[in-house]
Amino acid sequence: MRVAAIEMSSGAERESNLRQASTLVGDAVAGGAGLVVLPEFFAVLGPNEVLAAAAESLLDGPTVTWARSTAADARVWLVAGSIVERSGDQCHNTSVLVDPHGEVVAGYRKIHLFDSQVPDAVFDESKVISPGNEVVVADVDGLRIGWLTCYDLRFPELARIAALRGADVLVVPAAFTAVTGPPHWETLLRARAIENQVYVVAAAQVGSSGEGLDWHGHSMVVDPWGTVLAEATGALPSGEVVAADVNTDWIAEVRTQLPQLGDRRPEAYRWP
């Protein structure tokens, strides 16, 4: 299957962002993609007050409605990056998987929230978002995918659990900062691919979404050997599509050459 990671420069206006996303999804499908991954907060991105105001239901909210219609019209599997999901009195950073019939077949709530101070910016995601508590894997037309949303990428436990549950591909919707991105983004993506012998499809935000909200971009597809198969420039605010083919035979060959998942010794592992 051909997979595509979409790079966007999202802001506070949902309709404008969804128009951009529609164009980019169309470009990805025209290029042969069967699975398309959008970035974190692709429909609305901005300061906490903007995110809180954008919260919506997964049942009939405008972004999920758009995602269902878009996937069905294009006959494509669509990972709708992430949205601010309102569930009762809580909000979650939630990614949904929509099938080519327009049905929501899986959802993942970001587990690790980005409460960090980096130079020239402070991030306090937990002021708006409540964490999820479940690693999710789902079947996509002969492949099995698992999720890591942005900051989750720094926690290898999630990727390993997904791999042990059969994931062939890890999807990574992200808004990685322009400060941490250059030293960490590619290194972390390649590490998750190498140590779990999976493909990684990472869709990122680029540009700026407000003061202190500057994004690294560089969406990419990495194979199980750690090779970057496709990478965005990180410099196109109009958006960009990068794509590559997932080869399950290559996954099997890598795992035969280096049987590291089978060589694990869980009985020796002790958590501190």
Beta partners for residue 174, in sequence order: 204
Q: Which of 7, 40, 56, 240 is catalytic?
A: 40
* Active-site residue flag, 150: yes
Tokens of 232: 């965005």
Residue 103 has, within 13 A of its CA and on its CB side, a CA count of 3
**Burial of 256 from C-beta contacts in 10 A (0-12 / 13-18 / 19+):** exposed
Q: Which of 7, 85, 91, 110 is catalytic?
A: 110
Give residue 60's Cα distance to chain centre.
22
* Active-site residue flag, 91: no
Sheet containing strand 35-37, edge to edge, reads 104-109, 90-98, 77-87, 35-37, 2-7, 240-245
Which residues, 6+ apart, have CB-to-CB distance to 62 below 8 Å?
14, 18, 43, 56
Q: Which of 91, 150, 231, 240 is catalytic?
A: 150
C-alpha–C-alpha distance, residues 266 and 45, integer Å: 40
**Burial of 187 from C-beta contacts in 10 A (0-12 / 13-18 / 19+):** exposed
Q: Report the catalytic residues.
A: 40, 110, 150
